[in-house]
Structure 1
Amino acid sequence: MPASNARALEKAKDLPVDGLILDLEDAVGPADKATAREQACAAAASGEYGHREVTIRVNALGTEWHDADLAAACAAGPDGVVVPKVGSAREVRGLVEALERHGAPDRTRLWAMVETPRAVLDAREIAAASDRLAVLVLGTNDLVKELGARFVPGRAPLLTALSTVVLAARAAGVAVLDGVFNDTRDAEGLVAECRQGRDWGCDGKTLIHPAQVDPCNTAFAPSEEEVQDARALLAAWEEGAGRGVVTHEGRMVENLHVEVARRVLAVDEAVRARG
């Protein structure tokens, strides 16, 4: 959300979301950059956002605002600093050095936006470049532009790129967030894209409007049927311990299925705990 919008920052305190990206970049015009920086840093330092992770998206490397944004964000100590258009592992290491130089607390992690062909091709190296990098964020709008592709239902032109980034994140053990859905009036399209991102293995989705929050939460949370099936599978596994082959609903159960079921229940528990 644009950090220049004080009303939006106030409203964010009550949104049922896991995290907030207070934006200093695309959502803020040049004349409002300084105000947005001040308000974002004040919000991040306030401690008024409860369980929500509060991050600040700074302007990209090479822009006239980047250095001041990064220094101010480090002083505010948010949960994360989101950097757009990260293109290489070298840039990640440079950003981490800058975080340390500006005195960012240890809990302030780096979130790198992957939104260019170069970044996609180097995603594995980017994801593994530093222990301080915690999240890859898919910048789908910029990626469509850079590819010369088109926005189409199902995102076929992006599938190779987005799957590559998910693979890179999983290989490095970092989280990955799907890109935004642009049409705030298309509820069905949003739900379909949320489900697609979840099916790919994304940990969540970045959103641009409060109306998108509930559909996204529903899509990424385990359904009641998934929870019941996970519990039944675990019960069958525990009952069949030592028998060799365990089946559930006609399906053979192995350790990997047990791990998936436990993850479903852990996510469900976390969702319920957030209320």
Structure 2
Amino acid sequence: MAQYFRPRRSMLYVPGCNTHYLERARTLHADSVILDLGDPILVERKEESRDNVVRFVNEGGYGSREVVVRVNDLISEWGPDDIKAIAKTKVDAVLFPNIESREDVLTALSLLDAAGGSHLPIMVMIESPIAVLNAKEIAAASDRIVCIVMATSDLISQLHARVTHERSAILTSLSLVILAARAYGHAVVDGITSDFKNMHSFEYACRLGRDMGFDGKSLVHPAQLAYSNDAYTPQTSEVSHAREIIAALKEANEQGKGTVVVNDKLVERHHVRAAERLLKLNEMIKTLEESHV
């Protein structure tokens, strides 16, 4: 959805049970913060976390950051109450975990609408083999989906695979979800790297994800922010090249030519559309970073 196009280079999970982290998230250079009520929260702290998140969201203070709340599973004893509590807050979007089908998306929207959140966009998590195989029907289910978020740690476990530097076990799954997201105009964000002290592997994962087509990466620790933001920020040379492409094809069109060669590469209309998107994203990132200063 064009109106929800924005930088999502870094989406930082923030546990709802920790008020210090909820407060600190207001100062971090994350494009999005995901205030988390889900699996990482102990059962005995679920309701406390919900109350914390509702309070912090309504108090605001997150500036230009996108504020997202991840609720518990729809079939859990906490999920429906999470939705009721979050639906009327000032949240920017609700993130639904364990979405595996079109029906799951429609159920999530129905519960959200019934709770008074019909104005809210949603995000969905892909974290199982069946969800990957159903990525197309999930992406097609609603235009209120603004972002698809991978849960790669869960996916690797369910695949009985191993975590490797090259991410070879999940490359096919990542590609299938990216294809589905792009086919239906949704943003798509890579999953976490849980080993937050291995910055070499994390940086590789960021740049691999960027080159595959992801919009950004979800994170579990503030130390990862700088690496993710850098990987998903257009480089100065890319911005210059984008401007050159647009200008060159415009001039060629005025001369009655449909294509042009720029830096020994053929440029067509689809290259211009990609360049225009990059320039728009770059300006949004500049505005967002200026607001963090």
| TM-score of Structure 1 vs Structure 2, range by shorter chain | over 0.9
Counting matched residue pairs gives: 274
Q: Quick check: 1:157 aligned with 2:169?
A: yes
Partner of 2:278: 264
User: Hey, what's the Cα distance between the residues in 2 that align with 1:8 and 1:44?
Assistant: 13
Q: Quick check: 1:231 aligned with 2:243?
A: yes
Q: Quick check: 1:19 aligned with 2:32?
A: yes
Name the SS for the 1:75 alignment partner: coil
Name the SS for the 1:41 alignment partner: helix
TM-score when normalising by structure 2: 0.90
Amino acid at match of 1:100: D
- The alpha-carbon deviation at position 80 of structure 1 amounts to 1.1
User: Hey, what's the Cα distance between the residues in 2 that align with 1:235 and 1:186?
Assistant: 42
Is the CA contact (8 Å cut-off) linking 1:44 and 1:55 kept in structure 2? no
Name the SS for the 2:44 alignment partner: helix
Partner of 2:3: none
Is the CA contact (8 Å cut-off) linking 1:180 and 1:207 kept in structure 2? yes
Cα deviation 1:142-183 (Å, max 9, x = unaligned)? 100111111111111101111101111111111111000111
User: Hey, what's the Cα distance between the residues in 2 that align with 1:75 and 1:259?
Assistant: 37
Is the CA contact (8 Å cut-off) linking 1:77 and 1:104 kept in structure 2? no
Which of the numbers 112, 116, 135 marks the counterpart of 1:123? Answer: 135
- The alpha-carbon deviation at position 239 of structure 1 amounts to 2.8
Partner of 1:137: 149
Cα deviation 1:112-145 (Å, max 9, x = unaligned)? 1000111111111111112222211101011001
Amino acid at match of 1:179: G
Name the SS for the 1:34 alignment partner: helix
Is the CA contact (8 Å cut-off) linking 2:80 and 2:111 kept in structure 1? no
Cα deviation 1:15-71 (Å, max 9, x = unaligned)? 112211001112211111111100111122223211111111111122221111111
TM-score when normalising by structure 1: 0.96
Amino acid at match of 1:234: I
Give the unaligned 5+ runs of structure 2.
Answer: 1-13
- The alpha-carbon deviation at position 105 of structure 1 amounts to 4.9
Partner of 2:214: 202
User: Hey, what's the Cα distance between the residues in 1 that align with 2:90 and 2:282?
Assistant: 30
CA RMSD of superposed structures (Å): 1.3
Partner of 2:191: 179
Partner of 2:8: none
User: Hey, what's the Cα distance between the residues in 1 that align with 2:265 and 2:88?
Assistant: 54
Partner of 1:246: 260
User: Hey, what's the Cα distance between the residues in 2 that align with 1:256 and 1:15?
Assistant: 36
Partner of 1:191: 203
User: Hey, what's the Cα distance between the residues in 2 that align with 1:173 and 1:206?
Assistant: 19
Which of the numbers 50, 57, 62 marks the counterpart of 1:44? Answer: 57
Partner of 1:66: 79
Partner of 2:106: 93
Name the SS for the 2:219 alignment partner: coil
Identity %: 39
Partner of 2:20: 7
Amino acid at match of 2:141: A
User: Hey, what's the Cα distance between the residues in 2 that align with 1:78 and 1:171?
Assistant: 27
Partner of 1:113: 125
Amino acid at match of 1:41: V
Of structures 1 and 2, the one with the larger relative CO (CA 8 A, separation 6+) is 2
- The alpha-carbon deviation at position 243 of structure 1 amounts to 4.2
User: Hey, what's the Cα distance between the residues in 2 that align with 1:66 and 1:264?
Assistant: 37
Partner of 1:273: 287
Amino acid at match of 1:167: L
Give the unaligned 5+ runs of structure 1.
Answer: none
